[in-house]
C-alpha cells in the first residue's frame, strides 16, 4: 500500500469513528431520556471509549480489503481491454477509445491492417509461429505509430484474428498515406524467425478518414473495404478509401460520357 493509500485509509477510519461516536452519543442521549440513568457522565464516557477503540480495529482491515478489491477490479477491467498475445488494446478497447476521440471532432484517420496469407503461415509452420508473426507485426505497428510524433491520440489495436486497426488523431490525409506506406514497407522488411528459417510477412492496409457525422464503425468499414481492395490488387500494399471513391466516381463519369 502506497503512502497516499495508507493516509486515505486512515482518513476513512477517522470519519467512520466520528460517525460511530455521533451515533453512540445519540443513542446514549435517547436512553437517558427514556430510562432513569443517573450517571450521565459515565455513559457518555462509554459512548466515547468504545467507538474510539473498537471502530479502528474493525474498520481499518475492511477498508484495506475494499481498496485491494478495487485494485483487483481495475486490473481485471484492464485485462478485458487487452489482447493477451500481442499486448495491444483489443476490439472493445479500440471502439471505446475511438468513440471518445470521435466525440471531440477534428481529423481522425483509421486504418485496417490485415496480415497477408496468415492462414498459410499457421498451416505450414504451426500456430506457435503464427503467434510470433502476430507479435512481430504488432510490435512494428506500435513502434511506427508511436514514432509519428503526432500530439493527438494514436494507437494500434488487435481487433480479431490477423486483423489490426490503427487510430491517429489530427493527421493530414497525405501524412496518413505516408504512414500506411511505411507500415507496409517495414513489415515486409522484417521477416519472422520460425522453424529455423525466416518467414516473409506482408500486410495489406486500408486507410479511411473521418467525415462529419461518421461513427468509428462507419470509418473502419470504409478502411476495411479499402483493405480488401489492396488484397485484390495483389496484397503487400495500401489503399486510401477516399482515393478509391474518387477513382470510382471518375470511372463512372467516363463510362457515362
- Euclidean distance between CA atoms 222 and 209, whole angstroms: 9
Do the Cβ atoms of 73 and 26 come closer than 8 Å? no
Q: What b/e readout covers 107-133, taking b as 16+ CB neighbours within 10 angstroms?
A: ebbbbbbbbbebeebbeebeeebbebb
- Euclidean distance between CA atoms 90 and 159, whole angstroms: 5
CB under 8 A, 24+ apart: contacts of 79-84: 83/157, 83/158
Alpha helices in 81-208 (DSSP H): 91-104, 118-125, 127-146, 173-188
Question: How many Cα neighbours within 13 Å face the side chain of 70?
Answer: 8
Q: Which of 164, 172, 169 is nearest to 97 (CA)?
A: 169
| 244 flagged as catalytic | no
Active-site residue, from 77, 162, 169, 244: 162
Backbone torsions φ then ψ of 147, nearest 5 degrees: -80, 0
- Euclidean distance between CA atoms 45 and 79, whole angstroms: 51
> Which cell is 232 given?
485484390
- Euclidean distance between CA atoms 207 and 110, whole angstroms: 6
Catalytic machinery residues: 162
Amino acid at each position: 500500500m502506497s503512502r497516499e493509500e495508507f493516509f486515505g485509509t486512515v482518513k476513512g477510519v477517522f470519519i467512520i469513528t466520528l460517525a460511530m461516536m455521533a451515533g453512540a452519543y445519540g443513542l446514549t442521549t435517547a436512553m437517558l431520556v427514556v430510562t432513569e440513568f443517573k450517571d450521565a457522565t459515565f455513559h457518555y464516557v462509554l459512548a466515547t471509549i468504545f467507538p474510539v477503540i473498537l471502530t479502528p480495529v474493525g474498520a481499518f482491515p475492511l477498508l484495506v480489503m475494499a481498496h485491494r478489491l478495487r485494485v483487483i477490479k481495475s486490473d481485471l477491467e484492464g485485462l478485458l481491454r487487452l489482447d493477451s498475445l500481442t499486448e495491444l488494446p483489443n476490439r472493445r478497447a479500440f471502439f471505446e477509445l475511438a468513440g471518445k476521440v470521435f466525440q471531440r471532432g477534428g481529423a481522425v484517420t483509421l486504418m485496417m491492417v490485415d496480415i497477408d496469407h496468415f492462414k498459410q503461415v499457421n498451416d505450414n509452420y504451426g500456430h506457435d509461429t503464427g503467434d510470433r508473426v502476430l507479435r512481430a507485426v504488432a510490435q512494428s505497428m506500435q513502434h511506427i505509430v508511436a514514432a509519428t510524433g503526432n500530439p493527438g491520440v494514436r494507437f494500434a489495436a488487435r481487433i480479431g484474428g490477423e486483423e489490426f486497426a490503427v487510430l491517429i488523431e489530427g493527421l493530414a490525409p497525405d501524412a496518413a498515406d505516408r504512414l500506411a506506406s511505411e507500415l507496409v514497407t517495414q513489415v515486409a522488411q522484417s521477416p519472422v524467425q520460425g522453424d529455423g528459417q525466416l518467414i516473409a510477412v506482408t500486410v495489406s492496409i486500408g486507410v479511411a478518414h473521418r467525415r462529419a457525422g461518421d461513427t468509428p464503425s462507419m470509418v473502419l468499414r470504409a478502411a476495411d473495404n479499402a483493405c480488401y481492395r489492396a488484397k485484390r490488387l495483389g496484397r503487400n500494399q495500401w489503399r486510401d478509401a477516399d482515393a478509391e471513391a474518387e477513382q470510382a466516381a471518375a470511372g463512372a463519369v467516363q463510362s457515362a460520357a
